[in-house]
Amino acid sequence: MDPDVEMDPLQLLQEDLRDEDQEEAVAGCNRLPIIAMALGPARTREELLPFLLEYSDVDNDEAHAAIATNLGDFAEVCFSWF
C-alpha cells in the first residue's frame, strides 16, 4: 500500500471484517468510534450503520460483541450529531 494514498475509513473497516483472521475483524470493530468520527455524521448514518447491519449476517460472535460494545461507547457522540 502506498503511504501517500489515503484509504477511506469505511473501506479499511470492510477489509478488516472480510479478513479470515477473527482477531483482525475484532480489532476493526474496536476502531468504530474513530471510524465514525472520521466519516462524520452523515456518512455514519448513511453508510457505516447500514454496513454494520449487513455484517450482522456474518457468523463472528466476537466481532458482533465488539460492535455492540463500541456502538454503545460512541452512541452519545452520534446522537449529538442529530
Please tell me the predicted confidence (pLDDT) of residue 45.
85
Please tell me the predicted confidence (pLDDT) of residue 5.
58
* Sequence-ordered list of residues with C-beta below 8 angstroms from that of 10, at least 6 positions apart, any chain: 35, 39, 43, 47, 48, 51
Please tell me the predicted confidence (pLDDT) of residue 2.
53
71-80 confidence digits (pLDDT tens) = 876 666 565 5
27-71 confidence digits (pLDDT tens) = 999 999 999 889 988 898 899 999 999 998 888 899 999 999 988
C-alpha count within 13 angstroms, C-beta hemisphere, residue 73: 15
Please tell me the predicted confidence (pLDDT) of residue 80.
59
